[in-house]
Structure 1
Amino acid sequence: MDDDSPMTRWEHRTEVPLAVASLLFLAAYAVLVLAHGLLPGGRDVCLAVIAVAWAAFLVDYLVLWRLSGQGPRFVRTHLLDTVVLVLPLLRPLRVVKLYDAVLRRRGEPRLPLYARVIFYASIAVLLLGFSGALAVYQAEYQAPHATIVTFGDSVWWAASTLSTVGYGDVTPVTPRGRTIAVAMMVCGLALLGAVTGSFSSWLLQLFSREGDEKPPGS
């Protein structure tokens, strides 16, 4: 039986709006970081969009806290919501929830678990990589002795960091940039592990099915 609690209904109603808020946040942040010649009016618009998006996350968090009835324990049981609220870099990850919301509203069956994990991890890598590249570029490009001086450098660094390759040809030199780097390393390891584990499970299931389909005595 489906959960029809007030908390679940609220989550279903806010999934799409919060996903849209995440995309608007990312777009406004990208314009703010990359458009160096942005007029004051445009900068104010971007800051306003970012502030409204954060306010939407804050309202959602407080409502979920109130509806859960868990008190302080809510912080531990909803770590993603807590981290997304505190760390702007991770807010675009709320877009990942949009896939399930769309399928539920269309009444279509969901993908198998391993396929969903791979899909979610892939989207998360793209969003996290782009957000991380923006954040590191903003922190680094004007720093003394910086090696990340263009957005292209930052994208290359984000790709090598999330893939755990770490070439080391471009590296953050500021405390803020290095803090972001540590967070992206941790996320890269977690996402890589999730994708590898899910892909291995899919291969095992595929080989097991092929073995069951072989005729007796073959």
Structure 2
Amino acid sequence: MKELSAQVRWEQRTQRPLLALAVAFALAYAVPIVDSDASPAVTVACTVVEWTVWGSFATDYLVRLLLVRRRKEFVRTHWLDLCAVILPILQPLRLLRLVATLTLVGRRARMASQIRLTTYVGGAVVGLLMFGSLAVLSVERESPNGNIKTLGDAVWWSFTTMTTVGYGDHAPTTGMGRVLAVGLMLSGIALLGVVTANIAAWFISRFEKDDVEERRQTAAIEALTEEVRALRAEVAALSGVRDTVRHPAPGVAEEPAH
């Protein structure tokens, strides 16, 4: 059995702790937005949790970079992880920390072979709905012309935006809110394409499996038919030999019995 590399072992050991930290980040991100009257101590605690989670993912990236042999290739193939780690440092916005954490969690989740595509898509839908609602609420609630003032309005807006329905009863008015709307629309279209492709691939695989099984059965029937023909030919040949022995041709004397 091939021994796992140090990088793979590290990723297997840290996958669950990092996912738990991501859940903690989600709670810390949501509390100040849902409870707009939260005390300064709660707000500071949530901010500390957010930066702690980001620091954990940054440490994870550095450790994986140190464990690999070809570090330049690792940086080149994991450039999205690097951007997600660096962006919050350059511009420490809560929204950028949100995007960075979602990106890193998604990258680590795709490395886990036991997570199926359906589960990943379902988690992506729930995550985008939740974080999209919280993000748009945080930027639109204080807007004087905005009409997304409650969490219910934000969830409804996120759902209609992701499904590209867009009733228009709720719409962002700020620049950042419109950026979020574009991101949700593109994400919704992409997820819809993934689901459609997954369903189509499932039907195609079923048809191919049935086709392969039908061809296998047809080949087996043809082989059995050839065997039956060969047996008939052998039986016919044996019958002709027996008739020749019992009824010899004229002029051929039978061998005297001893």
What is aligned with 1:56?
56
Matched residues, percent identical?
A: 37
What is aligned with 2:189?
189
Which structure 2 residues correspond to residues 25-64 of structure 1 after superposition, within 5 A? 25-64=25-64
State the shift of 1:63 in Å.
Answer: 2.1
Distance 1:21 1:209, change over 3 A: same
How many pairs were matched up?
Answer: 206
Please list every run of 5 or more consecutive structure 1 residues that lacks an aligned counterpart in the other structure: 105-109
Cα distance in structure 2, aligned partners of 1:76 and 1:171: 39
Please list every run of 5 or more consecutive structure 2 residues that lacks an aligned counterpart in the other structure: 88-95, 222-258
SS at match of 1:164: coil
Structure scoring higher RCO (CA < 8 A, sep ≥ 6) equals 1
Amino acid at match of 1:63: V
Q: Tell me, yes or no, if the aligned pair for 2:50 and 2:97 is still in contact at 8 Å.
A: no
SS at match of 1:198: helix
Question: Cα RMSD over matched residues?
Answer: 2.8
Distance 1:77 1:178, change over 3 A: same
Cα distance in structure 2, aligned partners of 1:75 and 1:185: 30
SS at match of 1:199: helix
Cα distance in structure 1, aligned partners of 2:167 and 2:25: 30
What is aligned with 1:172?
172
Cα distance in structure 2, aligned partners of 1:52 and 1:196: 38
Q: Tell me, yes or no, if the aligned pair for 2:147 and 2:172 is still in contact at 8 Å.
A: yes
Cα distance in structure 1, aligned partners of 2:74 and 2:10: 16
Residues 155-199 of structure 1: CA distance to partner in whole angstroms, max 9, x if unpaired?
111112222223332111111112222222222222221111111
What is aligned with 2:5?
5
What is aligned with 2:97?
88
50-59 vs 176-185, which moves further: 176-185
Higher Cα Rg, which structure = 2
Distance 1:132 1:139, change over 3 A: same
What is aligned with 1:107?
none
